[in-house]
Structure 1
Amino acid sequence: MPTISLRSTLALAFGAVSVLMALVISWSINQIASDAIRRDIGTALTELAEQMRSRLDMGLYERLRDVDTLTVLRQLRDPATRVGDNRLVLEKLRRSTGEIAWIGFARNDGLVVYSADGLLEGANVGARPWFKAGREGPFVGDVHEAKLLAKLLPAPANGEPLRFVDVAAPVFDLQGRLSGVLGVHLSWEWARNIEQTVFSLGRRNKGVETFVLNRNGQILLAPAGREATKLPTGLTRAHQDGGQLLQWPDGGWYLTAVVSTRGFGDYAGLGWSVLVRQDAEQAYAPVRELRSAVLTIGAGFAVLFALFGIWLAGRISQPLRELTRVAHRLQSGEADAVLPSHKRFHEPKLLADALRHLLATLRQEQTKLAELNANLENQVTERTEALDAANRHLLLSLEERQRLVKQLETQANTDSLTGLLNRRAFHERAQQEVQRQARQHTALSVLIFDIDHFKQINDLYGHEAGDEALRQLALAAQEWLREMDVLARFGGEEFVALLPDSDLEAARRVAERMRQAAAELQISYPSGVIRLTLSFGVAQWRPEQAMDALIAQADQALYTAKHKGRNRVEAWIG
């Protein structure tokens, strides 16, 4: 039976074990890292769907709140108010938000009395679902194609049919009797704009697609050309965090995430679902790249370990080969062949020589191991320094992200022209003050003021001069008020101030002082000196009173000041 040399046996054994260990380690790293990347990708899709869901819910909630606010205005409730004045209010709201396609008031028999830009005035909407539901209470309707307005408004640029989301609420006259319904048609292009804001062009180029479904699973919003897409089964599994890999009816596999709308505040939602999918090939491209890199590195290490095994096998077998050569020389009769160590006994000489060579080899290996340890310590030091640098970079990145988040929060809460709080931020601060005043049982008042004949300033000096007048007035108003007072710009030339610890009379005195100071204010502009006057409406908060109702009372008082000649202060006396 042929024999195999010890060197060959050790080389094969070292090579096989090295390759097996490299493969096992590479496979383990690949599985762990791939699973983590898959979870991160799925979570990212779920977060995108959640952002889309949140913006849809918040948008409909804000529009419903706008409609509710309008329905409590005395101007709209008073039958004596001129139709033209009410139309101006609706047109102002429509211009302030690019989402409203139509807004109007229909009396009890369904006849449209006034609307923004006069659209559908004189038409009868009594058979429309929004009118019927709006008579019963606040209403938000699902997406539908335009009927009466299809020929009056331009079609969307993308070729889709004109579609609306309806918002309506009943309007009661001053005696509390139902006088009609205030209805709003939100353009469905609003949802498309949200989708384009949430999902950047880069994500869409990576195959990320968004669908919005109604409560029956029908597609309301889809990427261009995907309107007839059939949905897969098993979407309920895609509701879990991280999404689910599903095969769609077109045969393709997509990483799919689904979240359901939940409404916001007193808006219960319409039962929509936001579905985000990404082609599996593109979604898991980082996984494939990682797998390829790990396998390449693993193969490289396997080759290195095998070569090291061959070299190590030769080193281990060398003393035995030397012993064999010396033994052969002695056997052949070479007298000068020197046996190591012992000279009296042949067997001890061989054993002592083998041990001596083995110890010498061990010393050599120890020296090499010490060198390897030193090199390893240097490598660990270098890796530690690199890791510290990466951690510092990560910390700087996190600080920059926090700065950007804070900047975005500031932009979301302030008016870009004057730097004051905007309507949404004012309502949040106002709610906090109401809760504090309720606990401490102290007075709280609100005043609303605007610039008299502001349109004439724009017409005479230009819109840039009008903007400068608003900025200078905002700066002056902050100096006229206390640090604890809450000042905001509601839009146009209208400002609102919340006065904690102030009753109606104190608020009236503050408003009168501001009115007199404004009359003395001179705003220098290249085209001339701008002078202005202000009209004020003041109201005091009562326990359990909603902030919207308090603002509506102050607004009605402002309306009275306007009708009594402007440049005056009027208070709401309930």
Structure 2
Amino acid sequence: MIPLLLHGGPVALFFRWLRTGEETVHMPTRRLHRKAPSLTAVTFAFVAASAVVVGLMLFFLMRERLQTYGRDTMATAIGVRAAGVQTALEHLLYDEWSRLKALAREVGADDPQTIRTKLQTLVGEGDGLSWAGYAGIDGAIQASYADAMLGESVSVTSWFQTGLRKPTAEDVRETVSPASGQGRSQPSVIFAAPVRNADGQVRGVLAARLDLSSATILLRDMARALNIDLVLIDSAGVVLMQTRGRAEDAPDLPSLQAARAGASIVSLERWPDGRSYFSAVVPEIAYRDLPALGWSLVARVPADLAVAPAEQVSRGMIFYLASFGLMLLLLTMIFVESFIRPFGLLARTASKIADGAEVYPPDTNRTRELQMITAAIVRLQTRLHRH
């Protein structure tokens, strides 16, 4: 029986190891056992490595996805905010434009003195009007707010010539002079509309000047409320207003080039201050029948704001991943104690049996494999005792 087992394969070799205890088999195997890691250590190492790999992959994947989502969301948000500022600015211009047109329809039969009184009211009630006047068909100012430019001729101005035919709005560089005679070069908008008599014939032009100071106040307030920076550019590419920084120092930026060309874009770009911004361009400041002034609005927001939510979520993910690691460690300890350590106990028992001790393997029913190994060792012991 023994020769058959000796030449029967791994089971025979295992039986020989248990039966003889020869040094040629026993000592090298023990040395091998000392060098080899335990099943418990291998299990913990495998679980730890898997948790680290999966955790890192999940962390960086979620971080990248959150950053991409943040950039897309911020690009959309800056476009929406720029459109909102555009609407507010258009309403400011349109309100003054509508008031001037309404007054032009009322004064068709009025004398210059009555027109002057109404112009006083028009400028006094307006939010940003600094001057208003009435010019006759010959271009001479016959009535004006505070008598500024009274008697002067505006016949050569484009707004007067266009105003004889239709209502107009123009962005002008040279503003009308106040009563003191000291000219001001601040950019402004001139609204003009024809004044017709009862027969429908044009008898003059009614005009009003809107300084950019009121528009600047509005834009600065909205920029502060929406946490954005704004740049207003005219049709010639001149910066009319900016809430922060110097747009003139970055003429080659795609957003500013698009604004000068009257194109609408949303881009991520680096400004002269060294920071990256999401910039949105809203061209054509016009509303209803308000003539287009050729202005474009550039809104920007720091790109860091798009990354900040991802950073916050990343910090939260580190906490949750650490908590998950602790729970995984606890579950691994329970698993090792329940299913791995019985193999170690069985291995130590087998080693004692190989040394000649009269011990029997523990009766464990944790897994089918343990049952099979235990039963095999018991059968080998039984056959050993028979011989």
Q: TM-score, normalised by structure 1?
A: 0.52
In structure 1, the residue matched to 2:241 is 221
Extract structure 1 runs of 4+ deviating beyond 4 A: 150-155, 347-350
Partner of 1:234: 254
CA 1:202/1:353 → structure 2, altered by over 3 Å: closer, same or farther? farther
Aligned to 1:104: 133
Separation in structure 1 between the aligned mates of residue 221 and residue 183 of structure 2, nearest angstrom: 23
Q: In 2 relative to 1, CA 339–248 (structure 1 residues): closer, same or farther, beyond 3 Å?
A: closer
Local SS of the residue matching 2:240: strand
What's the counterpart of residue 146 of structure 2?
117
Structure 1 residue runs without a partner (length 5+):
156-160, 356-574
Distance between the aligned counterparts of 1:135 and 1:339, measured in 2? 113
Q: 1:41 is matched with which residue?
A: 74
Cα deviation, residue 314, structure 1: 5.2
Tell which has more relative contact order, 1 or 2 (C-alpha 8 A, sep 6+): 2
SS of the counterpart of 1:217?
coil
Q: Do residues 244 (structure 1) and 247 (structure 2) align?
A: no
1:258/1:7 Cα in 2 relative to 1: closer, same or farther (>3 Å)? same
Q: 1:150 to 1:322 in 2, by over 3 A?
A: farther
What does residue 360 of structure 1 align with?
none
Q: TM-score, normalised by structure 2?
A: 0.75
- What does residue 115 of structure 2 align with? 86
- Secondary structure at the aligned position of 2:248 is classed as coil
Deviation at 1:250, TM superposition (A): 4.8
1:210 aligns with 2:230: yes
Equivalent-residue separation in structure 2 for 1:175 and 1:144 (angstroms): 36
Structure 2: distance between partners of 1:348 and 1:183: 103
- The residue that corresponds to 1:11 in the other structure is 44
1:355-408 C-alpha deviation (Å, 9 max, x unpaired): 9xxxxxxxxxxxxxxxxxxxxxxxxxxxxxxxxxxxxxxxxxxxxxxxxxxxxx
Give, in angstroms, the shift of residue 271 of structure 1: 2.9
2:357 to 334, 338, 341: 334
Distance 2:371 2:340 in 1: 20
Q: Kindly report which structure 2 residues correspond to 1:434-453, keeping only aligned pairs within 5 A, or say none.
A: none
Residue in 2 aligned with 1:513? none
Residue by residue, what CA displacement relative to the aligned partner does 1:297-324 show, whole Å, maximum 9, x if unpaired? 4355346535654664454321111112
Q: Flag the 1:269–1:202 CA change in 2: closer, same or farther, 3 A.
A: closer
Distance 1:184 1:301 in 2: 69
Whether the 8 Å contact between 2:232 and 2:242 is mirrored in structure 1 is yes
* Kept after mapping to 2: 8 A contact 1:172/1:179: yes
Residue 77 of structure 1 aligns with an amino acid whose one-letter code is: G
Distance between the aligned counterparts of 2:96 and 2:159, measured in 1?
Answer: 15
State the partner residue of 2:295.
272
Paired residue for 2:86? 53
C-alpha distance 152-279 of structure 1, shift in aligned 2 (>3 A): farther
Does the CA contact (< 8 Å) of 1:232 and 1:249 recur in 2? no
SS of residue in 1 equivalent to 2:121 = helix
1:197/1:323 Cα in 2 relative to 1: closer, same or farther (>3 Å)?
same
- The counterpart of 1:182, out of the listed 202, 206, 217, is 206
Give the secondary-structure state (helix, strand or coil) at the position aligned to 1:199: helix
Q: Report if aligned partners of 2:89, 2:219 keep a CA contact under 8 Å in 1.
A: no
- The Cα shift of 1:114 comes to 0.3
Residue 64 of structure 1 pairs with residue 97 of structure 2 = yes
Q: Quote the Cα distance in structure 1 between the aligned partners of 2:99 and 2:177.
A: 24
Q: CA RMSD in A?
A: 3.3
Q: Deviations over 1:194-252 (max 9, x none)?
A: 2133223572xxxx210011234331111266363424433359935xx3211235543
Q: Within the alignment, does 1:132 sit opposite 2:140 as a pair? A: no
Deviations 1:465-504 (A, max 9, x none): xxxxxxxxxxxxxxxxxxxxxxxxxxxxxxxxxxxxxxxx
Distance 2:292 2:313 in 1: 42
Aligned twin of 2:187: 163
Provide the rounded CA distance (Å) in 1 between the counterparts of 2:65 and 2:220.
Answer: 34
Distance in 1, matches of 2:316 and 2:146, equals 63
Matches within 5 A, 1:97-496: 97-149=126-178, 162-200=186-224, 203=227, 208-223=228-243, 226=246, 228-235=248-255, 236=258, 239-240=264-265, 243-261=266-284, 263-299=286-322, 301-302=324-325, 305=328, 308-309=331-332, 312-313=335-336, 315-335=338-358, 337-340=359-362, 350-352=373-375
> One-letter code of the match for 1:59?
L
Which residue number corresponds to residue 7 of structure 2?
A: none
Deviation at 1:129, TM superposition (A): 2.3
CA distance in 1, matches of 2:300, 2:129: 30
Judged with a 3 Å threshold, the aligned counterparts in structure 2 of structure 1 residues 329 and 251 are, in CA distance, closer, same or farther, namely closer
User: Residue 215 of structure 2 aligns to which amino acid in structure 1?
Assistant: A
Instruction: Determine the C-alpha separation between the residues in 1 that align with 2:45 and 2:60.
Output: 22
Aligned-pair distance for 1:90?
Answer: 1.2
CA distance in 2, matches of 1:288, 1:298: 15
Is 1:29 aligned to residue 52 of structure 2? no
Query: Alpha carbons of 1:352 and 1:145: their partners in 2 closer, same or farther (altered >3 Å)?
Result: farther
Q: How big is the shift at 1:173?
A: 2.6
Indicate how the Cα distance of structure 1 residues 127 and 283 shifts in structure 2: closer, same or farther if over 3 A, else same: farther
Q: Secondary structure at the match of 2:99?
A: helix
The amino acid across from 1:252 in the alignment is R
